[in-house]
Amino acid sequence: MRIDAARKGALRLLAGVRDGMSLSDQPNAIAGLAPADRARAQRLALAVLRNIDRADTLLVQHLSKKPRPDVLDVLRLGTVELLEMGEAPHGAVNAAVGLVQGMGPKGRAAAGMVNAVLRKISGQFKEWVSLPPEEMPEWLREPVLAQWGEDITTAIELAHQAGAPVDFTAKPGKTAPGQVLPSGSFRLHESAQVSALPGFAEGDWWVQDAAAAMAVRVLDPQPGEDIVDLCAAPGGKTLQLAAAGANVTAVDLSAQRLERLHENLKRCGLAAEVIAADALEWRPRAAPDAILLDAPCSATGTIRRHPDLPLIRDGSAIEALAELQTRLIDHALDILKPGGRLVFATCSLLAAEGEDQVTAALGRHPGLAVEHPEWAEEWLSPVGGLRLRPDHWSEIGGMDGFFIARLRKPETAR
The residue from 231, 268, 297, 347 that is catalytic is 347
In angstroms, the CA 329 to CA 352 distance is 14
Helix (H, G, I), strand (E, B) or coil at 402: strand
In angstroms, the CA 79 to CA 93 distance is 9
Helix (H) or strand (E) holding 214: helix 210-219
Is 297 among the residues known to form the active site?
A: no
Please answer whether residues 158 and 137 qualify as being in contact, where contact means their C-beta atoms are separated by less than 8 angstroms.
no
Amino acid at 129: V
Please answer whether residues 24 and 309 qualify as being in contact, where contact means their C-beta atoms are separated by less than 8 angstroms.
no
Q: How many residues belong to the chain? A: 414
Q: For the range 374-381, what are the long-range contacts, defined as Cβ-Cβ under 8 Å and sequence gap of 24 or more?
A: 375/217, 376/214, 381/354, 381/355, 381/405
Q: How far, in Å, are 200, 291, 309 from residue 39 at the CA level?
A: 19, 37, 20
Among 380, 390, 379, smallest CA distance to 140 is for 390
Q: Which residues are catalytic?
A: 347
